[in-house]
Amino acid sequence: MEEIYSLNLGDYIEIENKLPNEEKKQAKIKIHKLKKDSISNLHLDCCFYCGNSFIETKKKENGCCNSHTVPKSFLDNISENGNVNFFNSIYQSEFNSKNNGLNNAGTFKLICRKCDREIFKSYENIDNYNSKPNVKMLAQIDMKNNLKNIDKCIKNLELYKVLEEGLSIFNEVSKRKEKFEIDLSEYKEAYDYAKKVSQKPFNDYNILYFKKLNYIVPVAYQGTVALINDLRGNIINNVYSNDKKYKIKNISLCVFPLENSSVIIIFTNKKNKRYSEFFNDFKKLDLEKQLSIVNYILFSYTEEYFLSPLISKNTLDQLKELVYKTSDFYRKTENPDDKKEVFKKIREIYNYDESLKFPNLLLEKFSIENLKKENI
């Protein structure tokens, strides 16, 4: 066996499929219990934004809100009978749900209802997308992305705490926990910053890409992404660095299906220059290639997107290869000289040249309007 072996998320599905039914059943129960135990340990007392207590006050509006990442009003444009599909409709693990009602779609519970109504208002207003989003809107998106990341980190930390207590065989646990703790403090810092800009906007964001399409794309997403390599194969983020001072730099990616159109926004903090070369090259490409690369990034790097149930099974199956991509490696030894070998492999995994071979959901061909015609 090679010293370094690149993993594929499809490997896990294969292992899962080989499990005898009884074992599968037991594993499902165990996973469910782990999730339940870790979530029941979470007691957030007050709103992350305004600091008001959730419990003390009896006022309903100060209660904890089930906030949506992508605004519900945007998701309504791609839902069918109140449902949307998730990552797992492509990934196909029996241990996760494939679709769900909008109220359970990519939500987090960190802020009160009053804040949820107020602090994202500008970017949630469809009328504000006739031109490029302004600084206030970008700060609001950034703030929400970081809240979602914070929520994910807190949940993961709780899950690993339960794992640590229950299953000592996970020797990777403490290493991962440490990573989540560093991530959490970075997300909190980024959130504080975005909050400050949203309250008193000053031009601190750089829009790397903005495109308005005159049809509704069947996919929605908002979140942060840390790209590993650029279009020339140069490394943007060394996600394997063990140097604690080394910071991963993200971009924010938004794919918003609106009422009769869609917008794609990619932006970052002005101080983040790590992506300059990538976007210099990207802007020179024609629209179809640009959209195919956004589509490639969306499905190979992220998991928390929402899909219209109108997308055919055949199309979802063709996206599997993209969805299975991961930057994780199995390494036999921790040899520092592996670096070159790892980067060589990563260039093969995340190869933008192959982006055109996958179904591109951002093309008009897959618009909600066209999918509806096909379904008649």
- Least Å distance, CB 284 to Zn ion, is 44
Binding site for Zn ion (CB under 5 A): 47, 49-50, 112, 115
**Closer to Zn ion by Cβ: residue 62 or 360:** 62
- Least Å distance, CB 50 to Zn ion, is 3
SS3 annotation, the chain: CCCEEECCHHHHHHHHHHCCHHHHHHHHHHHHHHHHHHHHCCCCCECCCCCCECCCCCCHHHCECCEECCCHHHHCCCCECCEEECCHHHHCCCCCCCEEEHHHCCEECCCEHHHHHHCCHHHHCHHHHCCCCCHHHHHHHHHHHHHHHHHHHHHHHHHHHHHHHHCCCCCCHHHHHHHHHHHHHHHHHHHHHHHHHHHCCCCCEEEEEEEEECCCCCEEEEEEECCCECCCCCECCCCCCCCCCCCCCCEEEEEEECCCCEEEEEEEECCCCCCHHHHHHHHCCCHHHHHHHHHHHHHHHCCCCEECCCCCHHHHHHCHHHHCCCCCEEECCCCCCHHHHHHHHHHHHCCHHHHHHCCCCCCHHHCHHHHHHHCC
- Least Å distance, CB 69 to Zn ion, is 17
**Closer to Zn ion by Cβ: residue 47 or 298:** 47
Beta bridge partners of 225: 251
**Closer to Zn ion by Cβ: residue 38 or 146:** 146
- Least Å distance, CB 119 to Zn ion, is 8
- Least Å distance, CB 62 to Zn ion, is 7
- Least Å distance, CB 52 to Zn ion, is 5
> What phi and psi values does residue 235 have, to the nearest 5 degrees?
-80, 130
**Closer to Zn ion by Cβ: residue 70 or 119:** 119
- Least Å distance, CB 51 to Zn ion, is 7
- Least Å distance, CB 118 to Zn ion, is 8
Cα–Cα distance for residue pair 168/163, rounded to 1 Å: 8
